[in-house]
Amino acid sequence: MKRPQTASGAPFISLIVPVHNRRSLLCPTLKSIREFRRWTGCRSECIVVDDASTDGTPEAVAARWAEEIASGDLRVVKTRVNLGASGAKNVGAAHARGRWLLFVDSDDLLIPRAARALVRTLVRQDASPVVFFRCRVLETGDLIGPPPGRDSSLDLRSFLNRGTPGECLPALQARAFGRFPYMAALRGGEGLAYAAMIAAFGPAWVSPLVVRRYRTANADRLSRRMGLRGRACALARYHGIFLKRYHGRLMPGAAAMVVLKILYHGYFCGIWRLGRGR
In whole angstroms, give the CA distance from residue 249 to residue 263: 21
Question: Which helix H or strand E contains 2, and what residues bound it?
Answer: none
Rounded Cα distance between 71 and 68, Å, is 5
Report the predicted TM-score, pTM, of the whole model to 2 decimal places: 0.90
Neighbours of 228 (CB within 10 A): 17
Written as one letter, the residue type at 82 is: N
Give the other-Cβ count within 10 Å of 209's Cβ. 18
278, pLDDT greater than 60 = no
Contact between residue 132 and residue 211 where contact means Cβ atoms under 8 Å apart: no
**pLDDT-derived band at 146, boundaries 50, 70, 90:** very high
Least confident of 91-95, 123-127, 185-189, 223-227: 223-227
Higher pLDDT, 249 or 226: 249
Is the CB of residue 15 less than 8 Å from the CB of residue 47?
Answer: yes
For strands 13-19 and 100-103, give the pairing. parallel
Q: Is the pLDDT of residue 5 over 50?
A: no
The closest of 207, 38, 35 to 117, measured between CA atoms, is 207
Q: Please report, as a single letter, which amino acid is at residue 136.
A: R
